[in-house]
Structure 1
């Protein structure tokens, strides 16, 4: 029997439901360790919600500092490219000037971008998605084998 990756029309059925993503990964890893064709498995997050973690206060000075850091990286890239065409020790001068210009322009643009919002968003944050539970689903043709390999962990999920 040759195992191929199921197409979009494949019918998946839940085998087990867990509350955390690491638990779901552990179960799929268990299937893999036991030789199960894991290309027939998917982890489905159910009850997805967006979570925004506020990481700090955002000021004009902080925006300028962040802009300077990003601009310095861009300046470093441009400086390295320009330094390829410079002979002697002057390549270091070209590199440093490019980083300085990048940082200055980045700081200016960072400051202006934050200042122009008029204080409507004076905080920084990181957004992520979380699920309330995770289902291990398996292609219908392989469900029985997966349930057998997972043993006690393979309890069908409850009602949605």
Structure 2
């Protein structure tokens, strides 16, 4: 079960407020994928994985630059996002209007493009060249520790030691 920031069901045992993790370290990995594979291995060995927590340590915000912004890119992106919103609004208007479905959709599309162009141009102009690039951000950890509750930590550590001794899978 996955928790949602908007409420909904929360798995049993999860604290309501942010709480530091508990448990003993049974493994440490350089990537999240490796930590996931370790927990998958524990699950395959019928280990009580509800005792396990993956903890990202030494968190970093990594911003990867995707490209340079220009008026063309900004206006193109504004037109595209406006077109999607306008198409959606036009479809809704067309569904609930008594006549002219195609005209409602076309009107929504055109107005969406115009407003998308306008708002993207205003936003880019207001930035005054302070951020002339597009980027994507990720929260990344320097390492990922696998913690386990003390009652099963020794068993988990032994299983992960066996996993470490296995030869790596051959690339497909």
How far the C-alpha of 1:49 sits from its partner, in A, is: 1.3
Q: Deviations over 1:79-122 (max 9, x none)?
A: 1211112356x212211210111011001110111011111111
1:67 equivalent in alignment to 2:74: no
What is aligned with 2:133? 123
**CA 1:46–1:11 in structure 2 vs 1: closer, same or farther (change >3 Å)?**
closer
When residues 38 and 121 of structure 1 are mapped into structure 2, their CA distance, relative to the original with a 3 A threshold, is same
Secondary structure of the corresponding residue to residue 131 of structure 1: strand
> 1:17 is matched with which residue?
28
Compute the displacement of 1:137 (Å).
Answer: 0.7
Q: Compared with structure 1, are the counterparts of its residues 58 and 30 closer, same or farther at alpha carbon in structure 2 (3 Å cutoff)? A: same
Please show how residues 63-142 of structure 1 align to structure 2 within 5 Å. 63-87=74-98, 90-142=100-152
* TM-score (structure 2 length as normaliser): 0.78
Query: Contact 2:21–2:55 at 8 Å: present in 1 too?
Result: no
SS in structure 2 at match of 1:116: helix
Q: What is the TM-score when the length of structure 1 is the normalising length?
A: 0.83
Between the aligned partners of 1:64 and 1:9, the Cα distance in structure 2 is 45
TM-aligned CA deviation for residue 10 of structure 1: 7.1
Give the Cα–Cα distance (whole angstroms) in 1 for the partners of residues 121 and 22 of structure 2. Answer: 52
Structure 1 pair 9/136, CA: closer, same or farther in 2 (3 Å)? closer
The aligned residue for residue 36 of structure 1 is 47
C-alpha separation between the residues in 2 aligned to 1:133 and 1:10?
15
Closer/same/farther in 2, CA of residues 9 and 106 from structure 1, 3 Å limit: closer
Across the two proteins, how many residue pairs are aligned to each other? Answer: 150
Greater Cα shift, 46-55 or 9-18: 9-18
Structure with higher RCO (Cα < 8 A, 6+ apart): 1
**CA–CA distance in 2 between the matches of 1:121 and 1:30?**
45
Distance in 1 (CA, whole Å) between partners of 2:56 and 2:154 is 22
Q: Is the 8 A contact 2:68 2:132 kept in 1?
A: yes
Confirm or deny: 8 A CA contact 2:57 2:144 kept in the other structure: yes
